[in-house]
Structure 1
Amino acid sequence: MIEIEDKIVSADLLRECFACDLGQCKGICCVEGNAGAPLEAEEVDTLEEEYPNYKPCMTPAGIEAVERQGFMVVDEDGDYTTPLVDDAQCAYAYEENGVTLCAIEKAWAEGRTTFRKPVSCHLYPIRLVRFSNGTVGLNYHRWSVCAPARECGRKLGIPVYKALKEPIVRRFGEGFYRALEAAEELLKNR
Structure 2
Amino acid sequence: MKNLKTVAIALLVAFGTLNASAQEKKVDVAKSKINWVGKKVTGKHEGTINLKDGVLIFKDGKLSGGNFTADMTSITVTDLKAGEGKEKLEGHLKADDFFGTDKFATAKLTFKTIGTKAKNVYTVTADLTIKGITKPVTFEITVNKNNAVAALKIDRTKYDIKYGSGSFFDGLGDKTISDEFELTADLKF
TM-score interval, normalised by the smaller of the two chains: under 0.3
* TM-score, length-scaled by structure 2: 0.21
* TM-score, length-scaled by structure 1: 0.21
In proportion to residue count, which structure has more strand? 2
Structure with the greater alpha carbon radius of gyration:
2
In proportion to residue count, which structure has more helix? 1
Q: Which has the higher contact order (CA 8 A, sep 6+)?
A: 1
